[in-house]
Every structure is written in structure tokens, then in C-alpha cells.
Structure 1
Amino acid sequence: MTEWLPSEWMDEVNPALLASPDAYITREGDAWVLRLPKDALDYENPFYRLPVEPGQVVGFSWHEPHGDVQLLIHADGTWTATTPVPSAATHFFEQGEGIIANELDDFVTGSDRLEEGEYHIQAYTWGDVSFRFELDVDGAGRFVSCAGAN
């Protein structure tokens, strides 16, 4: 399932991702803002409050998880994936050491190498899309896909 996050909020640790860019739209008095849901842990954090106006282009990052890859690292520095590696994956994450890599090779040859052993590596894809904030005929806020800032 694809989930979304305003790109401005991307960090090493992200808040809750939502099912669509529209899910962040909130009305505060006369203002439109992007906010996390009220029950979200970081709801009160001012960093996660983004004012928007009709016509404004907002970048969103989308995330699609692909499940885990079982990675076996051998004593000689080679590795074997004991489960299929999703071809669409653009990122891999090993939670125990907190290592993020763009390729499975990076876990063996990168600066944050993993020791010999078996690891559960999360595989996922991140991508970026621009949306323009608009008001529909009923005055409700919504995002419409666009090519980017004018």
C-alpha cells in the first residue's frame, strides 16, 4: 500500500505516513494547513504544520513497502539473499544497526558494514510527486497532480 508524506517533513525518522496527500488537509479558521491526524504522536509538533494556499505547489514523497529480504553475509564478505529481492526497491533498511542503503551490496562494502550473519532487511521504494492545492466547487481543499512549481 502506497503511503504519503509532505516532502518538507522527510527526515531520518518520519511521522505517520497517510494514505493520500489529501489526508493531511485541515482547515484552521480561515486558513488551510497540512497537519498530522489529531491522534498522531507528533500532532502538536509545530514542524508538522504546513500552511497552504490555493494554487500552491507542494512536494510529496510516496513510500511503498516491499517486505523483508533475508540477507546472509558470509565470513569472506560476500552475501546471499535467501528470499527474492524486489526489483522495484530503491532503499533497504536494517533496523538493528539502523543502516539505510540504496543497494544490498552497501551492507557489505559500505562504510556501515554488517558483520557475518543473517539479517532481515526491509525493502521499500521512495518517490517524489508534486501536487497543486486547489479548492473544489464545494470549497473543500484537495491536491491535484502537477508537473511541479510554475
Structure 2
Amino acid sequence: MGFDGLFFGRVDLQDYAERNITKQMEMIWKGSSNLGEESWLFTGIIPRTYTPPESFCFDAFCDDEPIKDDPQLHDYNVLERVQAFINAAHDQAAGYATNHIMMTMGSDFQYENANQWYKNLDKLIRYVNAQQVNGSGVNIFYSTPTCYLYALNKVNRTWTTKTDD
């Protein structure tokens, strides 16, 4: 088909709930019995319809708290924000079969203030990854769907299949 993978942001709620419980949020979709293996496509379900985890929208139109990393200020919040993100990563990972997840950060009509977004994402990456020395096991970085699919392919896992629509 020419695609390495396909990601859905919106799926049937019952299918989503069952797949999330059984760690089958990613699968091989056998879209056509007539076309055979050429039509098989790795398919992933993105939680939250591709929006960021709750309280991590850094857009100009969001009310979520930015990461404030000056310890001299009264509203320093790095530790709380980092722990909330690590918790969100673990919550999302619970529905997936590998230790790789794609955490989408953004939504429709966002990045109105891209500088604000990236400034906070850079801080989030730095401070979350710094927690690895404390055993968090969470490693976050900017990536692409292609890189994500490459990492999943390297796991060399046999995926469950989906044959309906």
C-alpha cells in the first residue's frame, strides 16, 4: 500500500476500551481479504484523539500551568509537573504491548504561540529525563511517526490482528 503504518485518533469507544485493557492499542489491520498481505497495515490507536495529556496544553488558548523552573520563585512547579507527566506516560503505556509509546502534544488550532509550546516541551524533556537517575524509566524526546514505527519494528513483536472496520 505504500504506508508503513496508520494511526487513528478516533475509534469506537467499546473497541478502544477493550483494546486498552488488553494492551492491543496497536495491531495489524487486515483491511481486505481479497487483497491479501499487501493490504495489511500496522495500525495504532492514539489516546485522547491526539491531544496532550490532561494539564499539558501549553497553547495560548489553554489554561494549563506552564513549567516554572526558577526555584527562587514562589510558583516553582518542576517536581509536580514532571511527576504528573511521568504518571500520564505510565497511564498511557498501560494499553500498549511494548515500552514505546507515542505521546502526542498538540491539537487542532494549537501552536498559536509555538515558542511557548516548545519552551515548555524543552523543559519537560529535560526535567523528565533527569528523573531517570531516580529510576523513573521514562525517556521522552521529539520524534516522528516514522521513528516510532522503526522502534516498534526493532522490538520484533508479533502483533494481534484486526479484520473488521
Same fold (TM over 0.5): no
The higher radius of gyration belongs to 1
Identify the structure with the greater helix proportion: 2
Which gives a bigger RCO, structure 1 or 2 (Cα 8 Å, sep 6+)?
2
TM-score normalised by L of structure 1: 0.30
TM-score normalised by L of structure 2: 0.28
Identify the structure with the greater strand proportion: 1
